[in-house]
């Protein structure tokens, strides 16, 4: 079984200081998020995680609601998230969410469907990998 998308593999990569490698392998798995993968390669990044972060600190950027950065079809959104809820209740453990820290805030860049499904399944926080665009940002986040 391929574990590149597993929470356990991400936690182990974090322990080994290889979370960036895990992120790249995960984003390229079945071409999940090629755009994000390529964008992350364009500059140096600093990483933390996976960390358990409350959903109140991780607003979604994707969904059917007006004002979303990436607005998508409501029926497709609902179908995908409800399937994930069913899988979570059946024992599936989703991969960590991936967030960017910018201007003192977190922005959920990958895992919007997973976050919504986890919330619908009764969770209020989940494992998240965070990237920073400067070492100073990482240090300010670590101090929180």
The CATH number of whichever domain residue 53 belongs to comes to: 3.90.1530.10
Is 46 in contact with 132 (CB distance < 8 Å)? yes
Residue 1 belongs to a domain: no
How high is the pLDDT of residue 41? 81
Residue 77 belongs to a domain: yes
> Buried (b) or exposed (e) across 10-19, using 16+ Cβ within 10 A?
bbebbeeeeb
53 phi, psi to nearest 5 deg: -125, 135
Better-scored residue on pLDDT, 81 or 4: 81
Is 98 in contact with 128 (CB distance < 8 Å)? yes
- The C-alpha atoms of residue 34 and residue 117 are separated, in whole angstroms, by 22
- Number of domains making up the chain: 1
How high is the pLDDT of residue 144? 54
Residue 72 belongs to a domain: yes
Residue 50 belongs to a domain: yes
Residue 11 belongs to a domain: no
Question: What count of other Cβ atoms lies within 10 Å of the Cβ of residue 111?
Answer: 25
* Burial bucket for residue 59 (CB in 10 Å: 0-12, 13-18, 19+): middle
Q: Which residues contact 90 (CB under 8 A, 6 or more apart)?
A: none
Q: Which residues span the domain enclosing 73?
A: 45-142
Residue 108 belongs to a domain: yes
In this prediction, residue 33 has a pLDDT band, given cuts at 50, 70 and 90, of confident
Read off the pTM: 0.88
pLDDT in tens, 62-107: 899 999 988 999 999 999 999 999 999 999 999 999 999 988 899 9
- The C-alpha atoms of residue 91 and residue 106 are separated, in whole angstroms, by 28
């Amino acid at each position: 079984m391929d574990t590149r998308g597993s929470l356990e593999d991400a936690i182990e990569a974090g322990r080994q200081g290889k979370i960036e490698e895990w992120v790249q392998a995960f984003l390229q798995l079945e071409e999940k998020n090629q755009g994000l993968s390529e964008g992350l390669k364009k500059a140096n990044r600093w990483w933390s995680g996976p960390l358990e972060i409350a959903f109140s600190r991780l607003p979604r950027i994707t969904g059917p609601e007006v004002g979303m950065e990436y607005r998508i079809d409501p029926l497709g959104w609902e179908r995908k998230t409800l399937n994930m809820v069913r899988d979570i209740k059946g024992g599936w453990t989703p991969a960590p969410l991936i967030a960017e820290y910018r201007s003192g805030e977190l922005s959920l860049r990958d895992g919007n469907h997973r976050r919504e499904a986890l919330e619908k399944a009764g969770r209020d926080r989940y494992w998240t990998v965070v990237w920073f665009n400067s070492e100073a940002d990482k240090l300010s986040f670590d101090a929180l």
